[in-house]
Structure formats: C-alpha cells, structure tokens
Amino acid sequence: MEVVIVPDATAGGELIAEAIASLLSRKPDALLGVATGSTPLPIYRALAAKVPAGAVDASRARICQLDEYVGLPAGHPESYRSVVLREVVEPLGLSEASFMGPDGSAEDVQAACEAYDRALAEAGGVDLQLLGIGTDGHIGFNEPCSSLASRTRIKTLTEQTRVDNARFFDDDIDQVPHHVITQGIGTILDSRHPILLATGEGKAEAVAQTVEGPVASIVPASALQLHPHATVVVDEAAASKLKLADYFRATYAAKPAWQGL
C-alpha cells in the first residue's frame, strides 16, 4: 500500500486526476470505477478541466458505479446513477452508453447484484477504482464486519452512515434509504488499482486504522493492505494520526517520477 500525503483536498484531487489522465493515455477505453459523496468532487473537477484543455482524451473512457441506493425511484436526483451522470459522465462529455451501474430499483435485487458483478468481469474488470472512506472505516457501503471476500450484494446501512448521508436529503434522515447495492470488498480488490482519497480530521482515525492497523473486517478499508497496487491519498488533517507519516512523506518524495501514482 502506498500512502501519499498532500497539503489539501484540491492537491489530492489534482494528483488523482493526473493518474487517471495517465491511465487514459495508455488505455483510452479504461473502465473507471467512481465513488460518490463530497470527497471525490475535487478529482472530478480537476479531470473535467483537463478535457477542454486537451490534457486528457476521455472520449472512450468507461464509467462504472461503486454502489447504489435500493428503492429510490428512477431519476431521483440523489440516486447514485443520477449523481454520477451529473458529476462525472456529463462533465467529461460522455454519453450514458459509456456508463454502467447496478439496478437499485430491480424487483429481484439479489439477481441485480449478481448481474452487476458479472458485468464488471465481462467488461474486462475495473482498471482504476476510486474510493472514499467512512468515519467507521467502510469503503463502498461495506460496513464494519463485512466479509473481506464479499461480492456485489445488498447491504443494510448503519445508523451512522444514514446520519452522515442525510445532508444529501435535506438533512432528513427519514428520506435516506436503509439498503444499498454495493460492490463487495472482494469485488473492489479485483480492480487493478484502487485509490482511496480521504480528507479532513474526521477521517484521521479511520485512515490510521486502515493503513497501520491490522487487516480486520471491523475496518473494511484495511483490506486494501492485501492489494498489490493500492494507493491511499490523504490531506494533512486526515494524516494527523498516522504514526509513520514522516516515513510516508520521505518515500513519496524519493519516488522515481516514471513510477507515477
């Protein structure tokens, strides 16, 4: 696991956008897994700014969802399909044909989960998977004590996660669904390069447990330690509880430029 400490969220977004641009230059039809929420927005803004500037050609890129609420009506503005289309697909000038995600309104949710897991594999696998982290250490919606071998499936949200997400629903927790479809931890680990971005002091404990703690289902993100090419990008606030912060800074500063992120 590589840990990169950046000054702030803007710097983290730019760094990761550069990594995506580099990937697309090597593989123009790369499958990019995207996360929702406020944390990855600097990535999407930085990446979208590169398109008109000619710094990246995203015209053949493919986009896939990490997770989706269960039960929101089609077209609901806070369904993750709507959010990804609004924040990623449209700003990159892509069409819906380039986008794939699980069907959260399916009559048979379990079948929809299995179908999405198959679709990711049939698409050649996810080349780069963006991740955020919850204050309890969850990635995607793999809440604490999720199986580290889990595949795409339905999950019940914890009360804390529903409280955290109420801000997207007019601060009304009653509007936040209780269930989601999420890529499982095993599915996430199938991606060729998972990149986790964490910003703010509120994520510091979860980051420390993820990076320096044991691999344990109580901190689902700690499973990234098992991946041969996982990157954790954190701002100074989110890095504030890392015991090895100075080591991480030194190793990144000495990293050969040709290695990239």
Q: Where are the domains of the chain?
A: 2-253
Alpha helices in 55-203 (DSSP H): 80-84, 109-122, 159-165, 185-190
Q: At residue 31, what are phi and psi to the nearest 5 degrees? A: -95, 115
Position 239 scores a pLDDT of: 98
The alpha carbon of residue 138 and the mean position of all alpha carbons in its chain are separated, in whole angstroms, by 11
Q: Count Cβ neighbours within 10 Å for each residue of 129-140 and write b for 16 or more, e otherwise.
A: bbbbbbebbbbb
Q: Is 136 a catalytic residue?
A: yes
Q: Count Cβ neighbours within 10 Å for each residue of 229-239 and write b for 16 or more, e otherwise.
A: ebbbbbbebbb
Position 203 scores a pLDDT of: 97
Position 74 scores a pLDDT of: 72
Q: Which of 14, 127, 138, 190 is catalytic?
A: 138
Give 10-residue mean pLDDT values along the chain (261 residues).
97 97 97 95 97 93 97 88 95 94 93 97 98 94 94 91 88 94 98 98 98 98 98 98 98 92 90
Q: Which of 103, 143, 190, 235 is catalytic?
A: 143
Q: Are the C-beta atoms of residues 231 and 2 closer than 8 Å to each other?
A: yes
CB atoms within 10 A of CB 257: 5
Write out 217-259 in H/E/C secondary structure.
CCEHHHHHHHCCCCEEEEECCCCCCCCCHHHHHHHHHCCCHHH
The alpha carbon of residue 106 and the mean position of all alpha carbons in its chain are separated, in whole angstroms, by 23
Q: Which two tokens stand for residue 181?
A: 């479809």
Q: Helix (H, G, I), strand (E, B), or coil: what is residue 132?
A: coil
Q: Is 67 a catalytic residue?
A: yes
DSSP code for 125: -
Residues 211 and 224: their CA atoms lie apart, in Å, by: 8
Q: Which two tokens stand for residue 24?
A: 């697309």
The alpha carbon of residue 62 and the mean position of all alpha carbons in its chain are separated, in whole angstroms, by 15
The verdict on domain 2-253 having CATH code 3.40.50.1360 is yes
The alpha carbon of residue 12 and the mean position of all alpha carbons in its chain are separated, in whole angstroms, by 14
Determine if the pTM surpasses 0.85.
Answer: yes
Q: Are the C-beta atoms of residues 63 and 99 closer than 8 Å to each other?
A: yes
Residues 141 and 179: their CA atoms lie apart, in Å, by: 9
Given the DSSP bridges, would you call strands 153-156 and 179-182 parallel, antiparallel or unpaired? antiparallel
The residue count of the chain comes to 261
Q: Is 138 a catalytic residue?
A: yes
Q: Which of 14, 136, 164, 235 is catalytic?
A: 136
